[in-house]
Amino acid sequence: MENKISSIIIIIAIILIIVGIWFLKNDKSNQELEEIKNEAMEITSDFNIEKLKESKLPIIIDFGSEDCMPCKQMEPDLKQVYEETKGKAIVRFIDVWEYPQLADGYPVELIPIQIFINSDGTPYAPENAEDIQLEFITDDNGNHTLTRHIGALTVDDMKSMLREMGLNE
């Protein structure tokens, strides 16, 4: 009888340890996601796009420069969208003239360029992509890996795209 009780206590203890570890891990993940949601708009150090995707929020990353005229014209609109969607979308800006290494691996030949990622982590792919001048970037196997737009966008453009990408208002 004592062996059965001891076995049951050990099994319960193991289950409680596993549940405790799960809660600790999820709490840390939730803290990291909250930090991502509340980060500043401008990215000035290495960032992890996969970590941003884990937020389950739509993402716009604008590659530009504070010294580029079209980028300057778009800046107030980008800031407005950032402020209005904070915590519901990720809107970031990278100054590629000041931090060129942050554009490595992204198709940035001209600026401003925006990259769009749906809330499920997939590249944004609307049916009217050509109408709104979006380009689908593919890998060597023809898989759609990124969606980009070259040039400035307005508040209405960005908010409309974010809604299609999964923004919960």
Note the pLDDT of residue 103: 92
pLDDT (average), residues 99-103: 93
pLDDT (average), residues 99-108: 92
Note the pLDDT of residue 38: 60
**b/e for 84-119, b at 16 or more Cβ within 10 A?**
ebeebbbbbbbbbeebeebbeebebeebbbbbbbbb
Tens digit of each residue's pLDDT (9 = 90 or more) over 31-51: 665 665 567 778 778 788 888
d(CA 144, CA 106): 14
User: Of 132, 122, 137, which Cα lies nearest the Cα of 152?
Assistant: 132
Tens digit of each residue's pLDDT (9 = 90 or more) over 6-33: 777 788 878 878 876 666 665 555 666 5
